[in-house]
Amino acid sequence: MTNIDAGEALPETIEFNRDIRPILSDNCFSCHGPDKSKRVTSFRFDTGEGVFVDLGGRHAIVPGNPAGSEMLRRVTAAEESARMPPVRTGRKLTERQIELIRRWIEQGAKWQKHWAFVPPARPALPKTRNTTWARNPIDSFVLERLEREGLAPSPEAEPTTLIRRVTLDLTGLPPTPSEVDAFLADTSPAAYEKVIDRLLASPRYGERMAASWLDAARYADTNGYQSDGERYMWRWRDWVIDAFNRNMRFDQFTIEQIAGDMLPGATLEQRIATGFNRNHRGNAEGGIIPEEYAVEYVVDRIDTTSSVWLGLTIGCARCHDHKYDPITQKEFYQLFAFFNNVPEKGKAVKYGNSPPMIKAPVPQQQSELRALEKKLADAEEHFKTLGPELAAAQEEWEKSIDLSKPIHWSFNDGLLLHYRLDGNAADETPDQNTGKIRGPRFLDGEAAFVAGRIGGAASFDGTRFIDAGDVADFGYYDKFSLGAWVLPQGGGAIVSRMTESARAEGYSLSLDQGKIQLNLVKRWLDDALRVETESAIPAGRWHHVLATYDSSRVAGGIKIYINGKPAKLRVLLDDLNQSFKTNEPFRIGSLGGIDGRFHGYIDDVRVYSGALSSEQAELAATPDLINSIAGVQAGTRTKEQAGKIHAYFLDNHAPPAIRRAWKQVVSLRKQMEQFIETIPTTMVMEEMATPRDTSVLIRGAYDKHGEKVAAGVPACLPPLPDGVKSDRLGFARWLVDPSNPLTARVSVNRFWQMYFGSGLVKTVEDFGSQGELPSHPELLDWLAADFMGTGWDVKALQKTIVMSAAYRQASKVTPELLQKDPDNRLFARGPRVRLPAETIRDQALAISGLLVEKIGGPSVRPYQPPGLWKELAGGADYKQDSGENLYRRSLYTLWKRTIPPPSMTTFDAPARETCVVRRARTNTPLQALALMNDVTYVEAARVLAERLVSGGGATPEERITLAFRFATARRPKPGELKVLADDFHHQLAEYRQDRSEALKLVSMGEFPRNEKLDPAELAAYTALASLILNLDETVTKE
């Protein structure tokens, strides 16, 4: 961390931030730093005041007087009991570190605020001896450092290397031979710039940028934890791609993801953007404590947001003050308060999205929806014009009604079951699912069927019930409605399809202490919904009861109507995670066992395969017969009576033209409902109407509440801007306020890492005291200031980087560079790093011609080893896609957190359980084995081979050259061509001897094989193509 090599000469002027702070942070901050609970004295090394404090006549630091400084005496003490750091820590300052401290004191001990907390100012360009190399300001800073270190920049890379490098960096795909040829043929000074402009304008650019952002946002297609059920956040992923392609200003990109929902008149896209902070894991396991995980989700948002925008390890202050950076535990919970107002529960939905979520139609669906809305509006307007004619026709029709003849009617749209219970348990729908009466037929001389609210009714005394068999088999993805007339004389189940209460599973509409309940149960009590009316219904008279469920799997999707009016509800349970389907029969008047049997009378049971509207609920609760309503003078009818007779007339007796107009309205409304069902959802951030209280959690424990705090930002950073509310939107605006010293620095550093392999600050996730110092601090500040000054223009920043001479250097390393700068921290050569996992796979698909260049849409399931999920994910079944979904870009691959795509993790992709802004980079034999044997790469090699044989030239040498150009952009050298040709001829001879092996090789993968080609020759070219795809140069950005 000290950035000081033991053999390096001491700098002439000692700087606190560069030379002294790293020593103190590593060795002293744990006892003399920000964490007051660990501080052993009032002497602190992390503040200017603390460094120079008077220790009772002794001073730790006396500027200009090393001999009088207690600190220097203690670090050089011979006695172990007096030496600092204490011997028990295992730390001891080196002679060089001690000398640095001594000289710093001698030179006046000038203390500096931590460099990252000082707002960046655009520095003047440094003077350099070499005045011809620099192409833009980046190069001036790089060159000045090189000259200071006695080094010179490397020559510019070969044109083929350069176009491949920049194409891979900006699009994540290799250039085609025709693109390389066009670049080589363009001799104009702007040739390279034209390539960059073309790449930045490519739709592939947004996909490349999004691939890195998904790591930072911990994007995945499943919840994580043990159950790891699937979720659907791809609409957020597509928003990111689109934002990069549209070159959305980075400040706006930030605000919309942190608080897009709080912007005035927030658009659909701005609400989708807030999915950034819903990408965290969600626990749906049974038995968890929801409050505990609600805290974990907020902590994750703080950790992620601080890593991505602030480059600070703020999560270290969850349990106590930060040990190294000036962030207190209280300030952690002030940040916590910004993200603690989401109306969410700690327990996630097991399969699907957890609230809050929204319908998020894709652009095509939005267009179709607008067209459908217009058609419906036009149809409704046309029907409205027929009103006078309709009223006159109804009035005339009513005169013709025989008032003495009963006319039973209620709407039948979606009617699944109808039990009138007029003396029997017959189902009145065409399917005629007649129920069987269970229990005694008579009790104290009372018949099982009696006079009811509409005709007859069934009497239930707590022993008898009706078994209707295997009907109304609903699950939690089904919409349905349950309705009946009841005259209660006690409680019990009105209708149900449920097991015995001891092992309750299923659904029931019940009466409990006069209150109507709807229960949807998979496992009582931790996997169920229970909603009941706030008020009890009066006993001793008839009431119409109707419960509707909209398949949303949350209590908010349930409505209960009493006598046609929506009832106020109380949510008792709201944790449904699995389907509540059961093998039990549909029952009237009973649950599964002897408990819960109904006491009273039930009439006219209706079950609908849809969630009825409030208008339909009102109709269902109007018992009057049509002929009875007709006998009431029109002006004195109730609203419900008028509505019912009008609906009956419209459905059955209106003039043909009017009925056609009405049926068109009904049909379009149904189309609209069905269309809306196809629209994907996505999880979003929302604010609660009444903010939650936030407290300091003692030692970070979810249930140990300390001092209450309000939302706020750390004191070591600028305050919220004037006029900005202390809410999530205010926090988002604070992140990108020019006074914030971190956001621009952290962001440009991460982009720099994308192009050079490591950041100017190598610890891209940590700009605090334990982070590495910037290799080029003035360059970092210039880039940050320029980024803000150009309006946070991401494409302009990236163009500046890739246009620089520093980026264009050859990556060849010399012995001198290897000795003086082994990690290329001085940028005396071009970047040379292995390609990211996604790019390796996408490149193979692109080279072969298999890549499907389709942007966005639901995640896909390409090849992966069979049985992997079954072994490692509790028997979950991975259903592999077919067709074009096998060849989509890797950022569209379904990402299961507990078992990420093996082709990605093999090449160091993270599991995305948490935010990652810097991937590990390894070299393992498994990577080579994957490239040689994974069906994706074998199939790509075979399809590339077909490409070579069918149109790659007349000779093996021509075909080999083309394949080499596809993979590396350059032509093979004569020696390379000979080695490859020899290998091809050897393979050809082998496969001609063993055609069954040849056929086996060329049959791998689902892409149809060209059966006109000789299998032996195709197999030899497949082996050759596989070799080329495996070359170090192919999987490396040179």
Instruction: Specify the pLDDT at position 2.
Output: 38
Q: Which candidate, 258, 260, 262, places its Cα nearest to that of 279?
A: 258
Look up tokens 């220790």; give the residue. 55
pLDDT of residue 432: 61
Name every residue whose Cβ is closer than 8 Å to that of residue 64 and which is 6 or more positions away in sequence: 105, 106, 107, 108, 109
Q: Is the dihedral of CA 611, 613, 614, 618 positive or negative?
A: negative
| pLDDT confidence of residue 354 | 93
Give, as one character, the DSSP assignment of residue 403. T
User: Are the C-beta atoms of residues 932 and 1030 closer than 8 Å to each other?
Assistant: yes
Is 0.75 surpassed by the pTM of this model? Answer: yes
State the CB neighbour count (10 A cutoff) for residue 991.
25
Mean pLDDT by 10 residues, the chain (1038 residues): 53 85 82 74 71 76 85 82 81 88 87 92 96 98 96 97 99 98 98 99 98 98 94 98 99 99 98 99 91 98 98 96 94 98 92 94 97 98 97 95 90 90 79 61 50 90 90 92 96 92 84 96 87 94 97 92 97 88 93 87 95 94 93 93 94 95 95 94 96 96 97 97 95 98 99 98 95 96 98 99 98 93 96 97 98 98 92 82 97 97 96 96 94 97 97 95 98 98 97 96 96 96 98 97
Residue keyed to tokens 């028990």: 88
Pairwise CA distance, residues 761 & 350, whole Å: 40
CATH topology of domain 410-624: Jelly Rolls (2.60.120)
Residue 12 φ/ψ, nearest 5 degrees: -65, -45
Q: In degrees, to the nearest 5, what angle opens at C-alpha 786 toward C-alphas 781 and 787?
A: 100
SS3 per-residue string spanning 983-1005? HHHHHHHHHHHCHHHHHHHHCCC
Residue 307 has what DSSP assignment? I
DSSP state of 15: -
Are 576 and 528 spatial neighbours (Cβ–Cβ below 8 Å)? yes
Strands 456-461 and 705-709 come out as unpaired
Inter-residue contact 85 to 28 (CB < 8 Å): yes
**Is residue 146 classed as helix, strand or coil in its secondary structure?**
helix
Tell me, what's the pLDDT at 70? 80
Q: Give the tokens for residue 535.
A: 């008020």
pLDDT of residue 438: 64
Token couple for 595: 């408990």
How far apart CA 585 and CA 469 sit, in angstroms, is 5
Enumerate the domain spans of the chain.
Answer: 16-112, 204-344+689-820, 361-408+625-679, 410-624, 933-1037
Please report the sign of the dihedral spanned by the C-alpha atoms of residue 458, residue 459, residue 462, residue 463: negative
CA–CA distance, 391 with 397 (Å, rounded to integer): 10
Query: Between helices 234-245 and 203-216, what is the axis angle to 10°?
Result: 130
Q: What is the DSSP letter of 347?
A: B
- Residue 1037's φ and ψ, nearest 5 degrees, are -85, 110
The candidate with the shortest Cα–Cα distance to 604, out of 585, 627, 622, 626, is 622
Sign of the torsion angle spanned by Cα atoms 516, 518, 524, 528 = negative
- 325 neighbors 312 (Cβ within 8 angstroms): yes
CB 353 within 8 A of CB 682: yes
Q: Kindly write down the DSSP assignment for every residue of 462-525, as one continuous string.
A: SS-EEE--S-----TT--EEEEEEEEESS-EEEEEEE--GGG--EEEEEEETTEEEEEEEEETT
Bridging pattern class, strands 465-467 and 436-438: antiparallel
- Cα 113 to Cα 105: distance, rounded to the nearest angstrom: 17
Contact 533, 568 (CB under 8 A): yes
> Cα–Cα distances in Å, from 731 out to 102, 253, 264, 673, 690?
42, 14, 16, 38, 18
Give me the residue label for tokens 């590990």: 920
Query: What letter would DSSP give residue 1008?
Result: P
Q: Among residues 507, 475, 481, which one has the least CA distance to residue 578?
A: 475
CA atoms within 13 A on the CB side of 132: 1
Which pLDDT score, from 0 to 100, does residue 444 have?
34
What one-character-per-residue DSSP string does 430-441 give?
TT----EEES-S
pLDDT of residue 11: 85
Direct distance between the N- and C-terminal alpha carbons of the chain, in angstroms, rounded to an integer: 29
Residue 427: strand pairing partners:
419
Total count of residues recorded for the chain: 1038
Please give the full DSSP string across 750-817, using - where no structure is assigned: HHHHHHHSS-SSS-TT--STTSPPPSSHHHHHHHHHHHHHTTS-HHHHHHHHHHSHHHHB-----HHH
How far apart CA 416 and CA 411 sit, in angstroms, is: 12
The DSSP call for residue 587 is E
> What is the pLDDT, as a whole number, of residue 132?
97
Round to whole Å and give the CA distance between 837 and 907: 5
List the beta bridge partners of residue 436.
467
d(CA 709, CA 148): 50
Strand, coil or helix: what is 860? Answer: strand
**Beta-carbon contacts of residue 90 (< 8 Å; ≥ 6 apart):** none
